Amino acid sequence: MDFTKKVVIITGAGSGIGAATAQLFAAYNANVIVSDINLDQAGLTARDIKKSGGMATVVQTDVTQFDQVKALVTDTVTTFGQLDVMVNNAGIGGKHQLKTAEHDHDDWHNVIAVNQTGVFYGMQTALQQMMLQGQGAIVNVASLAGLKASGNNLSYSASKYAVVGMTKSAALEYGRKNIRINAVCPGFTHSALLNQLLASSDTMEKNLKRMIPMGRFGEAKEIAEAICWLASDHSKFITGQTITLDGGTSL
């Protein structure tokens, strides 16, 4: 894959899947805008990219704030003249693992704001620019929890089901505009979110791996590879799809 002269924004690029995706796009010669609410973490990702000879720009962005997301896209276009790929990756999990009747309201509002509203803002602002250009690709990071039931995880599950639905609806709307919109749905993948889940119980890692036919967790770079492919010319006839990367868990 080659993204030479392409401009790519990745939200939540300071760690995990976002960082791996930023590094991989840069390895494919893209000009990468590393966006994250944590400026220090974003800086580390950009530093690693530049050490490897890639191109990276750091922009601090809170995806729950529309003005900041709009500025992210506007400033990118002002600087580089275009936006070819938008990866809406920023996401969080709830702090508590509780059933619906006891679900924490702060968790609900925070998770929905980042995972659902943040993706909406990212898609909307990117689409406005891509419409002007007449082309573009958007990849949203959903989850296996957006395809199948996930107990004690209502806000996260609701937000990821929403990402899948928004992806399909927007893809339907913009398919004739040369703009493709797809999503990846990772299963249990090494990340801060997985670490948080594993810390909740001494037996959690063993229990989770028992549900994965491949017997291991995913790696962030494996998800990044699918994201890059969906954004590339190698998938030009694909839109409105969700690619599940879960080691067979959904089976």
- pLDDT, tens digit (0-9, with 9 covering 90-100), for 99-123: 999 999 999 999 999 999 999 999 9
Catalytic residue among 121, 156, 161, 174: 156
Count CB-CB contacts under 10 A for residue 172.
Answer: 12
Q: Are 147 and 156 in contact (CB under 8 A)?
A: no
Domains of the chain, each with CATH number or no CATH: 7-189+219-245 (3.40.50.720)
Mean pLDDT on 143-161: 94
Q: Which of 165, 182, 185 is nearest to 232 (CA)?
A: 182
Residue 125 CA to residue 183 CA, distance in Å, equals 17
pLDDT for the residue 53 = 97
- Condensed to tens digits (0 to 9), the pLDDT of residues 161-220 reads 999 999 999 999 999 999 999 999 999 898 877 777 778 777 888 888 888 999 999 999
Structure tokens at 98: 């509780």
- Report pLDDT for 169: 98
Is this structure's pTM higher than 0.75? yes
Residues in the chain: 251
In the chain, the N- to C-terminal Cα span, in Å, equals 30
The question of whether 156 is a catalytic residue gets the answer yes
pLDDT at 244: 97
The pLDDT of residue 190 is 87
- The predicted-structure confidence for 48-91, as pLDDT tens digits, reads as follows 999 999 999 999 999 999 999 999 999 999 999 999 999 999 99
